[in-house]
Chain A
Amino acid sequence: MLSKLALKNVKRSFKDYVIYLITVTLAFSLMLAFNFIATSKDVINLSDTMKNFECTMYIVNTFIILSICFLINYTTKFMFSKRSREFGTYMILGLKKKQITRMFTLENIILGLISLVVAMPLGYFFSILLSAIIMNFFELPHLVKITLNIKSILILILYFAIIYFIVLFLSRRRIKKMKIKDLLYFYKQNEKPIAKKKIKNVTFILSLIIGICALVFFDKEFRGYGHEPSMVVIFTSIFLILISIYGISITLSDFLLSFILRHKKVKYKGNNLFIVRNFYSKVKSMSFTIGTLSFLITITLIALNISSFFKGMFDYQIDTIATYDIAIEDEREKFSAYLDAITKEYTISDKLIYDTYINDNKSITKIINYDGWRKNEQVIKLSDYNKLLRLKKSPIINLKDNEYILHVAREYKDKLKEVKSLDSITLSNGIELKKRDFIEQGYSFSWGYGYGYLVVVPDSAVEGLAVGDSHLIVDTLEDTTESFAKNLTKIASPDMCRENEDGYTVCYSSANVIVRGKEEASNKGFITISSFVCFYVALIFVAIVGTIISIELLSESTKYKYRYQVLSKLGLRDGELYKTVFKQLSVFFIFPIIYPIIVSIFSITSMNKLFKITLTSDYQYLQFFWFNLVIFVVFYLIYFVATYFGFKKNISE
């Protein structure tokens, strides 16, 4: 009978917890999908660093499991309060707590198992979809084949067991503590008295100060390129931000309420009073949950942005290091050997051979205190420079006979930009040139190998300068591969290749060979992992946050239907009523994201100090920020729309 009752309850609960079920199913299927991808042979073979991928996923999954626990625990707690009278009735009829626990456990396991079963085919489908997206994202030529592996499924089942073990343990404790009286009269209970307003306002200001301090500490740690941030300070500031998020979430509504009540104009405008009071009472009863939601949203936004940072870094690196399919710096005589090797494998669409010249007057090197292996400066002819630009389809530039352009990598731009002595330089052949332009792009590393800067001069100005390096640039029609890079390296210095203890062939060479396919592969691993993982975390967290807000609001719509009936009896037309609902839901959905947006924009601005040299500009991160905010809002909107229509349906019934 108990199991029959449990089954019947499940059947009924189905309708009430559709959103919860969808989210749990979604979370499980995403977990499965990402595990499928993480363990897929094709993905692991993408490059050497991908071996860490699986391991990273286990760590990330631990956090995901905890947040799914939070979600499921929250919903069971919620179901519990909703069904308190039912449980009270069971107890009145003489059911022991043990029996009630057994029934509740059974119900939850049935609901969970349904999600799990649905999640399996869905997870497989997602893995195919996601891998296609990822492959596209990283511009991988071949499609990754996802294989159904038992290991991933078993791991999912293990995760399921862990999650439900924790959740059921918690609800068992909850049942143990409950009293019949509280259950039967739960709906009549008054809200617990909470801290006085004054204390709340003080807490609000204190939380704000803590938040600002934490963000400042955090910012101070990111001093820029070459400075390792201290992990202790970073974690301390994250912890402080966490406190501040909770503090503000708990107290902000009081702050707003006291503000609005004090200003009569705002107070009596439209339905403001109704909305604010409703909102206040709701936030008051779930302030801690809102804190957690805000925290999850903060993580989501930051995770999305870090994901973009990595993606931007990847794109920029590939573009600057491997601007062309193949770039070789070696002696001119060897170029024909290289070209032969290339022609054997690929169709050459474009090629260019040029020299850089040596300037012994070290006007730039002095300023940046360069103490590396090159002791002079590289000069490039304008015509060669323009050919390089034309190859990558950029507009060409013009120079007068007495002008030069300083092209520097972004690492050096701060040191070189406003330097007066560089307004005019004298080359070692005695020609004096005035600075025409300052270009900050990373190409200098590959165009003039080994330097963070290049001096672009008119063709006539190189007369009398010694030739430094010779370069061969080739664009191919086909995509280059990692293995082809090894072939070319062998040509560079066949005698310097040897096998190491691990069986790998390592070649040392005075020449330099850059093959795009190889650069892509070696960067891809790390960046794929980071970008992918951040995206995964963000996706699941948005789902959790959306579900909790939605469940809260939908339950309110049935519980406080009469509030809306009162409004309609007071003469509010349906359209206006829905507008009120819309406003109220908007306020509730927007409230938990305000502070996270502020925190995330400040923290990624700090992180940008570290990342910016590897991005195309100092402010590219703002583009990322908006882009990610849009992604987040789109997902969030889905929940908002679903809640709005559900709400409307509930109150008009």
Chain B
Amino acid sequence: MSEVLKLSNVKKYYGRNKVITKAVNGISFQVMKGEFVAIMGASGSGKTTLLNCIATIDTVTSGNIMVDQTDITRMKEDALADFRRCELGFVFQDFNLLDTLTIRENIALSLVVNNFDSNEIDNLVDSIADKLDIKEILEKFPYEVSGGQKQRCACARALINNPKLILADEPTGSLDSKSARILLETMQVMNTDLEATILMVTHDAFSASFCSRVLFLKDGKIFNEIIKGEKSRKEFFEEILDILTLLGGDVLSVK
């Protein structure tokens, strides 16, 4: 299996002069094609910063991030825009859908920017909506649908370009437990059936238990790593909880 993402000794420091926050302090890991990886950690452990660096939203202080053999830390601005458009998909905690556009238009936006043929756009949107079970709401506006539906729409938008890597930042953060479960199952479908490679940041053990591998961050460094392997989801969940207890903090917030 090929390597989609490779981080080597990535560091991200904030602040000037005396007060320096080492948000990410030398992290290296790889993600293989078709993996569903979760990054966990207490708040302030650097997980979102790390994701932002991979997403090219933020820049690294040092180290390299390779996406499919290309070093994104050395790319110029316009190239980065192209890169984001073609190679990456994003799912945010608060959806980031455009409320002036219908769900269909939201999903199609990145294709439109990519200058796809209009018939092809419609077909693609329909087929992906079918798989994510949002076909009925395609003509509605974001404010007319539920949070769970919005997030599935965001997933569809992230997926439609066939990106090499999908980055999700607390995708279940704004959802109730039922919608969260549906979304996670959807993401599993995306991972297994549509062969999407997903890197998800979460502080919720339940969400992480859907993944194939979990990385734990503490103070900007990798603290531990566990692999689901042949374990059942429940067993994996217990294992995650154990490590969170070890990490200290945040266990209470795990439902």
Q: Which residues of A contact B (CB under 8 A)?
A: 1, 5, 8-9, 11-12, 85-86, 88-89, 91-97, 99, 180-181, 184
Across the interface, do A94 and B110 meet the contact criterion of CB distance under 8 Å? yes
Across the interface, do B113 and A93 meet the contact criterion of CB distance under 8 Å? yes
- A88–B94 CA distance with the chains assembled, in angstroms: 13
In chain B, positions 103-125 with a C-beta closer than 8 Å to chain A are: 109-110, 112-114
Additional A-B contact list (20), CB under 8 Å, known A86-B98, A95-B85: A1-B112, A8-B101, A11-B100, A12-B100, A89-B96, A91-B81, A91-B84, A92-B90, A92-B96, A93-B84, A93-B90, A94-B81, A94-B86, A94-B113, A96-B78, A96-B82, A97-B77, A180-B57, A184-B57, A184-B92
Task: With a 10 A CB-CB cut-off, give which of A1, A89, A92, A181 has the most chain B CB atoms.
Answer: A92
In the complex where A8-B101, A181-B57, A181-B58 touch, is A94 in contact with B96 (Cβ < 8 A)?
A: no
Contacts of A89 in B (CB 8 A): 96-98
**What 3 pairs between A and B have smallest CB-CB spacing?**
A94-B85, A8-B100, A1-B112
- A99–B81 CA distance with the chains assembled, in angstroms: 11
Size of B's binding interface in residues, CB under 8 A = 27
Contact of B101 (CB < 8 Å), options: A5, A92, A181, A184: A5
B9 within 8 A of A: no
- A99–B85 CA distance with the chains assembled, in angstroms: 13
B61 within 8 A of A: no
Nearest A-chain residue to B108, judged by Cβ: A1
Contacts of B98 in A (CB 8 A): 5, 86, 89
Listed A/B pairs (11) with beta-carbon separation below 8 Å: A8-B100, A8-B101, A88-B96, A89-B96, A92-B57, A93-B109, A94-B113, A95-B85, A95-B113, A180-B57, A184-B96
B52 within 8 A of A: yes
Contacts of B90 in A (CB 8 A): 92-93
Contacts of A97 in B (CB 8 A): 77, 81
Taking the closest CB of chain A, its distance from the CB of B56, in whole angstroms, is: 8
Across the interface, do A95 and B100 meet the contact criterion of CB distance under 8 Å? no
Across the interface, do B84 and A181 meet the contact criterion of CB distance under 8 Å? no
- A5–B58 CA distance with the chains assembled, in angstroms: 27
Nearest B-chain residue to A12, judged by Cβ: B100
- A213–B60 CA distance with the chains assembled, in angstroms: 53
In chain B, positions 140-170 with a C-beta closer than 8 Å to chain A are: 157
A-B residue pair count with CB separations less than 8 angstroms: 58
Across the interface, do A5 and B100 meet the contact criterion of CB distance under 8 Å? yes
Across the interface, do A95 and B96 meet the contact criterion of CB distance under 8 Å? no
Nearest A-chain residue to B112, judged by Cβ: A1
Task: With a 10 A CB-CB cut-off, give which of B78, B85, B100, B157 has the most chain A CB atoms.
Answer: B100
Taking the closest CB of chain A, its distance from the CB of B164, in whole angstroms, is: 13
Task: With a 10 A CB-CB cut-off, give which of A88, A93, A95, A96 has the most chain B CB atoms.
Answer: A93
Taking the closest CB of chain A, its distance from the CB of B87, in whole angstroms, is: 9
Contacts of A1 in B (CB 8 A): 109, 112-113
Contacts of A95 in B (CB 8 A): 81, 85, 113
- A5–B86 CA distance with the chains assembled, in angstroms: 21
- A622–B146 CA distance with the chains assembled, in angstroms: 63
- A9–B100 CA distance with the chains assembled, in angstroms: 7
Contacts of B101 in A (CB 8 A): 5, 8
Contacts of B84 in A (CB 8 A): 91-94
Taking the closest CB of chain A, its distance from the CB of B199, in whole angstroms, is: 15
Taking the closest CB of chain A, its distance from the CB of B77, in whole angstroms, is: 7
Contacts of B99 in A (CB 8 A): 12
Nearest B-chain residue to A98, judged by Cβ: B78
Taking the closest CB of chain B, its distance from the CB of A158, in whole angstroms, is: 33
Across the interface, do B78 and A93 meet the contact criterion of CB distance under 8 Å? no
Taking the closest CB of chain A, its distance from the CB of B44, in whole angstroms, is: 14
- A91–B78 CA distance with the chains assembled, in angstroms: 11
Contact of A94 (CB < 8 Å), options: B57, B82, B100: B82
Taking the closest CB of chain A, its distance from the CB of B57, in whole angstroms, is: 5
Across the interface, do A85 and B96 meet the contact criterion of CB distance under 8 Å? yes
Taking the closest CB of chain A, its distance from the CB of B88, in whole angstroms, is: 8
Nearest A-chain residue to B87, judged by Cβ: A94
Contacts of B78 in A (CB 8 A): 96
Across the interface, do A181 and B100 meet the contact criterion of CB distance under 8 Å? no
Taking the closest CB of chain A, its distance from the CB of B175, in whole angstroms, is: 19
- A92–B58 CA distance with the chains assembled, in angstroms: 12
In chain B, positions 184-240 with a C-beta closer than 8 Å to chain A are: none
Task: With a 10 A CB-CB cut-off, give which of B78, B81, B82, B84 has the most chain A CB atoms.
Answer: B81
- A89–B95 CA distance with the chains assembled, in angstroms: 10
Contacts of A93 in B (CB 8 A): 84-85, 90, 109-110, 113, 157
Contacts of A184 in B (CB 8 A): 57, 92, 96
Contact of B81 (CB < 8 Å), options: A12, A86, A88, A96: A96
> What 0/1 pattern do residues 66 to 85 of B give for CB contact below 8 A with A?
00000000000110011111
Contacts of A85 in B (CB 8 A): 96
- A12–B99 CA distance with the chains assembled, in angstroms: 9
Nearest A-chain residue to B58, judged by Cβ: A181
- A95–B77 CA distance with the chains assembled, in angstroms: 11
Contacts of B114 in A (CB 8 A): 94
- A442–B207 CA distance with the chains assembled, in angstroms: 92
Nearest A-chain residue to B114, judged by Cβ: A94
- A99–B113 CA distance with the chains assembled, in angstroms: 10
- A89–B90 CA distance with the chains assembled, in angstroms: 10
Contacts of A11 in B (CB 8 A): 100
Nearest B-chain residue to A13, judged by Cβ: B100
- A181–B55 CA distance with the chains assembled, in angstroms: 10
Taking the closest CB of chain A, its distance from the CB of B187, in whole angstroms, is: 18
Contacts of B109 in A (CB 8 A): 1, 93
- A322–B78 CA distance with the chains assembled, in angstroms: 75
Nearest B-chain residue to A94, judged by Cβ: B85
Taking the closest CB of chain A, its distance from the CB of B113, in whole angstroms, is: 6
- A338–B57 CA distance with the chains assembled, in angstroms: 91
- A97–B81 CA distance with the chains assembled, in angstroms: 8
Taking the closest CB of chain A, its distance from the CB of B156, in whole angstroms, is: 13
- A34–B251 CA distance with the chains assembled, in angstroms: 70
Nearest B-chain residue to A11, judged by Cβ: B100
Task: With a 10 A CB-CB cut-off, give which of A11, A86, A94, A97 has the most chain B CB atoms.
Answer: A94
- A86–B92 CA distance with the chains assembled, in angstroms: 13
- A652–B246 CA distance with the chains assembled, in angstroms: 47
- A506–B58 CA distance with the chains assembled, in angstroms: 81
- A91–B109 CA distance with the chains assembled, in angstroms: 12
- A77–B103 CA distance with the chains assembled, in angstroms: 28
- A1–B56 CA distance with the chains assembled, in angstroms: 25
Nearest B-chain residue to A176, judged by Cβ: B77
- A59–B183 CA distance with the chains assembled, in angstroms: 63
Taking the closest CB of chain A, its distance from the CB of B106, in whole angstroms, is: 9
In the complex where A86-B98, A94-B86, A95-B113 touch, is A181 in contact with B52 (Cβ < 8 A)?
A: yes
Taking the closest CB of chain A, its distance from the CB of B111, in whole angstroms, is: 10
- A96–B110 CA distance with the chains assembled, in angstroms: 12
Contacts of B100 in A (CB 8 A): 5, 8-9, 11-12
Taking the closest CB of chain B, its distance from the CB of A99, in whole angstroms, is: 8
Taking the closest CB of chain A, its distance from the CB of B104, in whole angstroms, is: 13
Nearest B-chain residue to A93, judged by Cβ: B110
- A95–B86 CA distance with the chains assembled, in angstroms: 11
